[in-house]
Structure 1
Amino acid sequence: MGTTQLESVPEPKYWHLKTVLSEALDSEFSVGEILPNERDLAARFGVARATLRQALEQLELEGRLQRRRGVGTTVAPPRMGVAVGSRQHAWPDAGDDWQAVDCTVTAPPAAVAAALETGPDEAVHTVRRSRVSHGQPVAAELLYVPASSVPALSAIDAPSGPARARGVLRELQRLELDGRESAVELGSARAEDAKELDRLPGAPVLVVTTRFLVEGRVAALSVATYRADTCRLTFGDAGGVVIDEGPERRAS
């Protein structure tokens, strides 16, 4: 690689360097590739290592880079699409990238009980799932399902844990879904979410809350927490539009 000196620009040097580095990621590196060390990168672009670190930190916040302990800084995979406003008649996705972790029967938080219109002390099935993309955790979900929504659930067929979680999801598929309503907000990762998502507490996350409606009532409520640095909101049925991210990072 040749040496590239940054020209004098009015914007902060690290911000201009971030733009230059982003272009280099698109043209010279592939997903998962390890970047050269900081000394070599600083020499290539003619900047101080402190300036380089600022640029790398910004690219990490934007989801372009990942810093992995014991490995180094690597090029991040494309952001995973989080569909909003589409698939109105689909139950929670049970695809290969979602993994059932556990299922307990407990009284939900007061806000959840109010949304489900259950009693404050009425226990519901709480399904915990995790979503993985390119080998890394990107989302953690709590799916709250009243017992009345899955009356045929058998403790014999699905006694506990992941098996019971899959049993609840299977029984939901038997219901005729009228529609679903979703809301998205930016939040900060709580300690338990941060641990599951391999992030620090307080890291930015997208919280997607979805109500599943059957015969005019809320049959289930999903609260899914997505890593903000690995996801993007998509609209419509395809949601595959990506702009200015190079061929290696384009994905539906």
Structure 2
Amino acid sequence: MGTPQLAQQPEPKYWHLKTVLSAALDSEFSVGQALPNERALAARFGVARATLRQALDQLELEGRLQRRRGIGTTVAPPRVGVDVGPGALDGPGGPGDAWTTTGWAREPAPPAVAEALGLPRREPVEAVHRLLTSHGLPVATERLFVPAALLPERPGAAAPRPAASGEQRGLDLLGRLRAQGPDGQDRSVELGSAGAAEARRLDQLPGAPVLLVTTRYARAGRVLAVSLATYRADTCRLTFGGGDAPRAGEAAAVSVE
């Protein structure tokens, strides 16, 4: 039997260049460092700029490079890992939580969130806004929906002042959620595209591929809160055992590889 025709095809020039560029990224560049412009790179490697763009596009798709508005093409940080396995519960705001609370709002619950919480559609709920970064770059944004009626005030805790910042109100809600002691959670993941607001927070263009992670926190079978998190698909990898879970102050890790 003869060799299949596909096996006889030579390696595309851009693919070979991608391999060479990847080695150069490992040996010559650091995370966040900007690459030379396309003209300089094409001259260095002796290729047409069209071939160079194909190689750069592939490296961006694989999460090795990021194109940042106003900065150019930079070396991407290591991929961030999202644990979707049945590991130990460590709810939002806990010791191992690497997210930063950035604000708070009272807004209508999305239909799926209202259903999970057993509320009428578009019922106003408290929403804690949070951001996850790695090497100083945004990799995920989250809205954590918490019906305040399900979370009584913590004994001895001062209620937030009316003029308290959104961040302070968000931190208070996280504390009240943890005080309830969620004893279970479940997650679902799907591929989506970034809306305008998410794209702005993640320094992406609208329509960029993202991973949409929905987490439901429950106690005694009742859902207490629902998280809708949007992860940059080029910076993430899915994990299933919690081994890559980020610690406070560390980079987080999320990609299907």
TM-score normalized by the length of structure 2: 0.82
Mark the CA change 1:88 to 1:118 in structure 2 (over 3 Å): closer, same or farther.
farther
CA positional deviation for 1:194: 0.7
Per the alignment, in what secondary structure is the counterpart of residue 173 of structure 1?
helix
User: Residue deviations 1:14-51, cap 9 Å, x none?
Assistant: 22221221122223333233333323322332210111
Q: Measure how far apart 1:11 and its partner are.
A: 3.4
Output the CA distance in 2 between the equivalents of 1:107 and 1:69: 32
Point out where structure 2 has 5 or more consecutive residues left out of the alignment.
Answer: 1-7, 246-252
Contact 2:160 2:168 in 1 (8 A): no
The aligned runs of 1:79-90 (5 Å cut-off) are 79-90=79-90
In 1: Cα distance, 2:66 partner to 2:238 partner: 20
Contact 2:93 2:174 in 1 (8 A): no
| TM-score, length-scaled by structure 1 | 0.83
- Aligned: 1:189 with 2:190: no
- For residue 52 of structure 1, give the secondary structure of its aligned residue in structure 2: helix
Q: Alignment partner for residue 236 of structure 1, among 241, 250, 255?
A: 241
2-structure distance, mates of 1:214, 1:158: 31
Residue 223 (structure 1) shift: 0.5
Identical pairs, percent = 60
Which amino acid in the other structure matches residue 208 of structure 2? A
Shift of 1:92: 1.5
Which one scores higher on RCO, CA 8 angstroms, separation ≥ 6?
2
Give the secondary-structure state (helix, strand or coil) at the position aligned to 2:214.
strand
* Counterparts of residues 107-118 of structure 1 (less than 5 Å): 107-118=108-119
Cα deviation for residue 96 of structure 1 reads: 7.3
Residue 5 of structure 2 corresponds to residue 23 of structure 1 = no
Corresponding residue number in structure 2 for 1:135? 136
Query: Superposed, which structure 2 residues align to 1:1-150 within 5 Å?
Result: 10-93=10-93, 97-150=98-151
The Cα of 1:9 is off from its aligned counterpart by 6.5
**RMSD in angstroms over aligned alpha carbons?**
2.5
What residue identity is the alignment partner of 1:102? G
CA contact (8 A) 2:63 2:235 kept: yes
With over 3 angstroms needed to count, the CA separation of the structure-2 counterparts of 1:199 and 1:70, relative to structure 1, is closer
2:218 is paired with a residue whose SS is strand
Query: Across the two proteins, how many residue pairs are aligned to each other?
Result: 235
Alignment partners' CA distance in 2, 1:80 and 1:109: 27
1:32-82 alpha-carbon deviations (Å, 9 max, x no partner): 333333233223322101110121122122221123345443221111111
Task: Please give the alpha-carbon distance, in whole angstroms, between the structure 2 residues aligned to 1:86 and 1:93.
Answer: 19
- For 2:127, give the aligned amino acid: T
Call closer, same or farther: CA 1:115–1:75 in 2, change over 3 Å. same
Match of 2:248 in 1: none
Q: Does 1:207 align with 2:208?
A: no
Q: Any stretches of 5+ residues in structure 1 without a counterpart?
A: 1-7, 241-250
